[in-house]
Structure 1
Amino acid sequence: MLLAAATTASAGTLHGIQPDDLNRNGDPCVDFYDYANGAWRKQNPIPAYMDRWSRRWQSGEVNKEHVRDILTELSARSDWPQGSAGQLAGDFYAACMDESRIDALGSQPVQPWLADIAAVHDQASLQRMIGRLHDVGIAVPFGLYAGEDQHEPSRTIAHLYAAGLGLPDRDYYFKPEPRFADARTQYLAHVAKMFELAGTPAAEAKAKAQTVFDFEKRLAQASLDNVQLRDPKQQDHPMAFTGLAKLSPSFDWAAYFSAAGVPRVDLNVTQPAFLQQFEKELATTPLPQWQAYLQWHVLNTAADSLSTPFVEQNFAFNRTLTGATEIKPRWKRCAELTDAQLGEALGQKYVEKYFPPAAKARMQDMVKNILLAMDDTIRELDWMDEATKQKALEKRATFVPKLGYPDKFKDYKGVVVSRDSAWNNLVAASRWNVADARRQVGKPTDRSRWGMTPPTSNAYYNPLQNEIVFPAGILQAPAFDLNATDAVNYGAIGVVIGHEISHGFDDQGAQFDAQGRLANWWTPEDGKQFAAKGQCVVDQFEGYFIEPGVHHNGKLVLGESIGDLAGAKLAYRGYLKSREGKGPEPTLDGFTPEQQFFIAWGQWRGDETRIETQRSMIQGDPHPIAKYRVNGPLSNLPAFQQAFQCKAGAPMVRAEKDRCEVW
C-alpha cells in the first residue's frame, strides 16, 4: 500500500498529526482505528479512575486541571463580595474539598431530609414532599423541565417527563442476560448498604432495598425504552393544564404548580402512560413504601457529598457499570461538581484564560465553510426533489452557531454558598438552577441561554432552536489547535462541527423544520428515500460486535452514526473549500493534507474503552463505541479510500452496493 512521499514541506510553525501515535505496523486500509493511534493507546493505558481513554479524553482531564487551577485561586481568597462569582465558585469548591469536615459530619447533612420523608403521614404531605424534592433537582418519580414548545419553539412551556429510576434505564429491570441480572443483584445490595450507612438496621435496610427495586420496576414497566425515546413524536403530547387531572386525578396539580412557581398554562407530557402509572402508585402503594423510595433517591443524590463510606460505596456499585478500578481524585470530582452547578460563574474566568479571540475567529471561519459544504451537499443530492431541497436549504440557512461562551453570563443572584457543608451548597445551587429554569415557563424562549457551561468538553445541536453549540472547553487541543494545520483542525473539531450540523438532518432532526417546529417538510417519496438511506446505517452498525452475541443496536445509534458519516464528509468538503485561493497545504511527516485530515479524526476520536462501559453503552448510549465511530463512517467515504489508496475489497472499503451515504 502506498502512502505519501517522505518529503516534508515546511509549514512554518503549524504542526500536523501526531506521528508517534501511529501504529506503523498497522494498515490504514484494514483497521484505521488501530492504525491512527494504536501506538498511543498501547503506551497510554486507561487510567484506573477512567472508563475510556484517548487524546480526546486526556484533553478533557487536562481541562479539569485548568478548572481546578481557577477554583484553587478563587478559593484561596476569603474577601470576595458575598454572592459574587468568585465567592460562590470558590466557597463551593472549598467546601467540597474539605474532606475532613465532610467525614466528621457523616450522614448528618442529609438526616433532616430523611426525617422529613419519614414524617410523611398522608397523601397531602407525600405530594408536598415530592414537590420539595423537585425543587432541588431530585426528579422522583416524574420530573418537570422548562423547554421550547415543539409546535411553537418561540415560547417556553413545562414538560413533564418520566424519571425516578436508580438503574441506567428500564431494560436493566427486565432483561434476562447475565449483565443485567448481575446489575440487579449488585443494585439491591448497594441500596441496602446505603441505607445501613445512613443508620438503618441491616434487616430493615435489606427490606427497604427490595421495596425500592420493586417500586422502580413498576415505573420502568411504564417507561419508554431507549429507542422509543429517540422519536420526538412519541414524546409529543401537548395538553391544557386541566388535562393532567385526567391522567393522574389523585395528585394535586394546582398545588404543585403553585408551590413550584410555574404558571398553569398549556404543557407537554412526554409519557402519558407513565403518569397513569404514577396515579396507580398514589392510589395503591402504602406510604412506608413511598417513604423508602423517596429516601433512597435522596441518599443516591447526596452520596458523593457525604462522608467517605458513602462515596466509596457509591463508587463500588458504579464501577460494575464502568469498569473503573479507582475513584477519581477528590479535586476532579469537586471541579466537575462546581462546573455542573455554577459553571457560568467559573466560566467567565475560564474563557479569559483559555479561549482567546483568535480562537473564536478561526472557529467562525471553519463553521462558515462547513455550513457552506452542507449547502453544496444538499443541492447535489440525486435522490431528493427540488421542493424538499428548498426546504432543507431553508432550514440550513436558519442555523445559529454559538462558540465559546454565552454573550451574557448567569449572575446566580440569591444563591447562598458557604464553606460549612458541601451537601447544603449542592442543595442551594440545585434549588437556584431549578428555579432559574422554571422562571422561563410561559415566556418567549430566551435564545441566549446555553445548555452547557463554557468549560464543558462537549458540543450539542438543539433542533428546537436550530443551533449548534461549541463550548470553549471542547475548543482545546487536540480537537482544535491554533498551532495546527487546517487539515488537522478540520479532521478533528471540523468533523464535530459537521456532526452537529448533520444532527439537524438525522432521523430526529429531520422531523423539525426551519423554525424548529416538529413538522413534516418532506415529500412522501423523499421521506421513503431518506428512511432507506438511514436503514443502510442501521444495518451497518448492527454488524458491529463488542463481544460474542453483543452487537450495536442500529436504531439506537442511528442519529449519532448519521452525524459521524455526514460530519466527516462535510468537514472534508469544508476543508477543501478553506483552501480555495490558497493552494494545498504541505505534506508533513510523510502525510498528505488529505491523509492528515483523516488521521486527525482517528487520533481524536479513537478511545480505548473498558468492556464494562462498552456493555453499558451498547444498552443505552446513542453513541457507538469509538472504534466504530472511526472505522464505520470512513469505510463509506470514497475520499478516505483515495487518500490512502485502499484497494476495493479492503476491510476499510465497503462494497459499492453496501456503501451508506445519507447526506
Structure 2
Amino acid sequence: MIANYLLESIDKTADPCDNFFQFACGTWLKKNRIPDDDMLTSPIPADLNNLQSVINARRFYETCINETVIESESINVILSIVNDLGGWPILQGSSWNETSFNLTNLLIRLREYGYNMIYGFGTSNDDKNSSTNFIRVYQSDIALAQRSNYLNETKVTRSYRQFIQDVASALAVGRIVNSSEVDDIYNFEKLISTFHWTPAEQHARQNETIRTTVGNLSQTFNTSFGFTNYIQHIYSLSNIPLYDNDIVSVSELEFLRNASSIIDSSSRRVLQNYIIWRFIMSRITDMPKRYRALKDPFDEAYRGTFAQRPRSITCGSYINSNMSFALSKIYIKQYFDESAKQQYIFNESYISNVLKLLKIKANENLRMLRELVDRKAWGASPPTIVNAFYSPPRNQIIFPAGILQMPFFNKDAPKYLNYGAIGVVIGHEITHGFDDSGRQYDKDGNRISWWTDDTIKKFNERKQCIIDQYSNYVVTQINRTLNGFQTQGENIADNGGIKESFY
C-alpha cells in the first residue's frame, strides 16, 4: 500500500535531474488540496452543537461566502469607517478640511483595529526575560515590501500607482480623481522606503536594538512625534496602565527617526491620503467582487499571478487563521473560558465581522503585557495548520495536529518512511535552536551569549559554507540568485534535519 502511494505521487513527466521535487511529488500535488473549508461546511458533531465559539466561526464563514449580502452592503461600512477616520482627501477634493487632522489620533484609531501605520508596535515576549512580556517598537511594513522595489520605475511601480488610481476612482463614484494625489501618495511611501531596513539588514543589525523604558522613551527617539503619549494612549484603550519602568524594545530606530522627520515636512493632506490608502488597500479583499478585481493587475505585476482562489477556500483559510481554536475541539474545551466565547458574536455583515475580529485581536495583544508567560499555552498558529515551528523565547519545537497526517506521518507506515518525512521536519525544527538566530537564546529562551568565542568563530566558519552553497542557486523561473545570507537559518535547519533523521 505504501509503495503504491509513493508511486502514485510521482510525476513521470518531470526530469528528476532538473526538478526532483516535481518528479517525486508532482502528481500528489495535482490530486490533493488543503481543505480549508471542510470543518466549516460539514455537519457539527453532536457534542459541539451548542458551543457558541464553533457556531460563531461557522456564522462568520457563511457571511464571508455570501456574495449576495457582500454586494448589497457594497462599500458602505468601509466608507463609514473612513469618514470616522477623517475621510480620504483624494475622494473629497477641496471639501476635505485639514484643520481637523491629528496624526496621533488617526494612528490611535487605526491601532484599535491592529493597524501599525509607519510606526509598528505591540506586546512581545521579552527576549532578555522569557517569563515576561514587553513593549516592542519597530518599523512597520511598506506596500512594496522592500526599498529596492521603489528605486526604479518598473512594471510594479506603475501597477501600484494604477491600483491606487483605480480604487480611488471606483470609490469616487463619478467624481474625477486628481492623479497628482496618487503620485503624492506613492512619492511619500517611496521617500520613507529609502530608510526602510531590509530583512538582511534586520538580521545583521540585531545588536542595534535598544532596550529602554517608557520613562526614557522620548529621550531615545528625540523626535517631534510623541511616542510615549501614543503608546500610553493605545494601552489605555485596553485598560492597561503603563509605568515609567516598563521595558520597551526599539528596533530600526534609524528608520523611525527619519520617518518622523519626513512626516514633519509632509503636508497633512498627503499624510491623510497615504494612511487611509494603506487601510483601504488592506481591506480590498473584503469588498465586493468588482473592487477585489481592481487588485488583480497589481498582483500580476508584483507577485506574478492574479488568479483568485475560490471564495470558499479564501474564507476557510481566513477563519482557520483567525478563529482556529473554535475549529479544534480539544483546545476549545481546555482553553476557551466563557468570557472569551462571548467575545466572538458576529452578525450577518461580513466586513463588520472582520473589523470586530481585528479589534478583538488587537485588544488581546495589548492585554498580554500584564500577563505572565504560560510556556504550556498554545502559540498563535492554529492547531489545524500543516506546518511546524521552533520558538526561541520558549525553546520549544511545536507540531500542530494538522501536520501529523499523510504525507508527513502515518502511524501504520514503516518507521523509515516516518523518519524520512516527519523525522526530517522534527530535525529541522530542533536545528533551528542552533542556527544563526536560535543559537543566541539559552535553554530558558533568553537572548544572551552562552557560546564561547571559539565556538562562535567555528560556527561562523562552517555556516559560511552553507551561505556560499545556496548563494550559487538560481531560481530559473524568475532568473534570480538566492541570497544565501538571508536564507541561512532555513538552509542550516534543512541540512540538519536530513542528517538527524537519517543517522
Assess, with a 3 A threshold, how the Cα gap between structure 1 residues 283 and 228 changes in structure 2: closer, same or farther: same
Q: CA distance change for structure 1 residues 182 and 90 in 2, over 3 Å: closer, same or farther?
A: same
Task: Select the residue among 130, 133, 136 that pairs with 1:159.
Answer: 136
Q: Is the 8 A contact 2:218 2:228 kept in 1?
A: yes
8 Å contact kept, 2:136–2:248: yes
Deviation digits for residues 249-275 of structure 1 (CA, Å, limit 9, x no counterpart): 432632542343344311111211122
195, 200, 213: which one pairs with 1:240?
Answer: 213
Q: Residue 108 of structure 2 contacts residue 230 of structure 2 at CA under 8 Å; is this kept in 1?
A: no
Deviations 1:553-595 (A, max 9, x none): 110110000010001111112xxxxxxxxxxxxxxxxxxxxxx
**Is 1:466–1:514's contact at 8 Å kept on the other side of the alignment?**
yes
Q: What is the aligned partner in structure 2 of residue 103 from structure 1? A: 71
- Show the counterpart of 2:322: 341
Counterparts of 1:207-356 in structure 2, within 5 Å, are 207-231=180-204, 233-234=206-207, 236-246=209-219, 247=221, 248-251=223-226, 253-261=228-236, 262-264=240-242, 265-348=246-329
For residue 448 of structure 2, give the secondary structure of its aligned residue in structure 1: coil
Measure, in 1, the Cα distance between the counterparts of 2:146 and 2:318: 23
In the TM superposition, what are the counterparts of 1:545-564 in structure 2 within 5 Å? 545-547=474-476, 550-564=480-494
Contact 1:75 1:93 in 2 (8 A): no
| Distance in 1 separating the partners of 2:164 and 2:295 | 9
- Does 2:110 correspond to 1:125? no
Q: Is the 8 A contact 2:466 2:491 kept in 1?
A: yes
Mapping 1:29-178, distance limit 5 Å: 30=17, 33-34=19-20, 37-38=22-23, 41=26, 44=27, 55=29, 61-64=33-36, 68-73=37-42, 84-118=52-86, 121=98, 125-174=102-151, 176=152
Q: Cα deviation per residue 1:55-81 (whole Å; 9 max; x = unaligned)?
A: 3x975x3332xxx2321247999x976
**Cα deviations by residue, 1:509-567 (Å, 9 ceiling, x for unpaired):** 11111121211122222211100111101100111112386210110110000010001
The separation in 2 between residues aligned to 1:39 and 1:571, in whole angstroms, is 19
Instruction: Write the distance in 2 (CA, Å) between the matches of 1:427 and 1:181.
Output: 34
Question: What is the alpha-carbon distance in structure 1 between the residues aligned to residue 296 and residue 208 of structure 2?
Answer: 33
Instruction: Tell me what 2:90 maps to.
Output: none
CA contact (8 A) 2:185 2:270 kept: yes
| 2:155 corresponding residue in structure 1 | 182
In structure 2, relative to structure 1, the CA distance for the partners of 1:117 and 1:205 (3 Å cut) is farther
**Which digits, 9 at most, give the CA deviation of each residue in 1:388-409, with x for residues without a partner?**
xxxxxxxxxxxxxxxxx99635
| Superimposed CA distance per residue, residues 478-515 of structure 1 (whole angstroms, 9 cap, x where no aligned partner) | 11222322222221221111111111111111111112
- Note if 1:534 corresponds to 2:463: yes
Q: What residue number does 2:440 align with? A: 511
Q: CA deviation at 1:143?
A: 2.0
Taking the aligned partners of 1:154 and 1:58, their CA distance within structure 2 comes to 45
Deviation at 1:299, TM superposition (A): 0.9
- TM-score normalized with structure 2 length: 0.87
1:408 to 314, 335, 344: 335
- Judging changes above 3 Å, is the alpha-carbon distance between structure 1 residues 249 and 25 closer, same or farther for their aligned structure 2 residues? closer
Q: Give the letter aligned to residue 415 of structure 1.
A: Q
Q: Structure 2 CA distance, aligned partners of 1:235 and 1:201? A: 50
* Contact 2:53 2:344 (C-alpha < 8 Å) held by counterparts: no
Find the aligned partners of 2:15 and 2:230 in 1 and give their Cα distance. 65
Counterparts of 1:366-405 in structure 2, within 5 Å, are: none
Q: Is the 8 A contact 2:159 2:297 kept in 1?
A: no
On the 8 A contact 1:127/1:252 being kept in 2, the answer is no
State the distance in 2 between where 1:266 and 1:154 align.
13
Which structure ranks higher in relative contact order (CA pairs < 8 Å, sequence separation ≥ 6)? 1
CA distance in 2, matches of 1:202, 1:543: 53
2:355 counterpart of 1:427:
yes
The DSSP-based 3-state class of the residue aligned with 2:144 is: coil
Q: What is the rounded CA distance, in whole Å, between the counterparts of 2:205 and 2:444 in structure 1?
A: 16
User: Is this contact kept in 1: 2:13–2:23, CA < 8 A?
Assistant: no
Q: Does 1:460 align with 2:389?
A: yes
- SS of corresponding position for 1:147: strand
Question: Take 2:438 and 2:5, find their aligned partners in 1: how far apart are those partners?
Answer: 33
Residue 265 of structure 2 aligns with an amino acid whose one-letter code is T
Inter-CA distance 315–458: structure 2 relative to 1 (3 Å threshold): farther
Q: Distance in 2 between matches of 1:170 and 1:552?
A: 18
Q: Distance in 2 between matches of 1:286 and 1:224?
A: 25
Quote how far apart the aligned CAs of 1:276 are.
0.8
Call closer, same or farther: CA 1:530–1:263 in 2, change over 3 Å: farther
Normalising to structure 1: TM-score of the pair?
A: 0.67
Offset at 1:416?
5.0
* Cα drift, residue 86 of structure 1: 2.0
Aligned ranges 1:567-606 → 2 under 5 Å: 567-573=497-503
Contact 1:461 1:468 in 2 (8 A): yes
- Native 8 Å contact 1:348 1:409 kept in 2: no
Q: Which residue, 487, 490, 493 being the options, matches 2:416?
A: 487
- Seen in structure 2, the aligned counterparts of structure 1 residues 528 and 40 have a Cα distance that, compared at 3 Å, is closer
One-letter amino acid of the counterpart of residue 146, structure 1: T
1:606-653 C-alpha deviation (Å, 9 max, x unpaired): xxxxxxxxxxxxxxxxxxxxxxxxxxxxxxxxxxxxxxxxxxxxxxxx
- 1:16 Cα deviation after fit: 7.4
For residue 472 of structure 1, report the CA deviation from its aligned partner: 1.5
Percentage of pairs with the same residue = 22
> Aligned partners of 1:509 and 1:123: how far apart in 2?
48
Match of 2:431 in 1: 502
Structure 2 counterpart of 1:444: 372
Report the equivalent of 1:605: none
In structure 2, give the amino acid aligned to 1:571. Answer: S
8 Å CA contact 2:146, 2:196 repeated in 1: no
In the alignment, structure 1 segments of 5+ residues that lack a partner are 1-12, 45-53, 352-404, 574-663
Deviation at 1:229, TM superposition (A): 2.3
> Distance in 2 between the 1:319 and 1:409 partners?
41
Cα deviation per residue 1:167-189 (whole Å; 9 max; x = unaligned)? 13332122x4xxx8221111111
Letter in 1 for 2:124: G
Q: In structure 1, how many angstroms separate the alpha carbons of the residues matched to 2:286 and 2:121?
A: 24
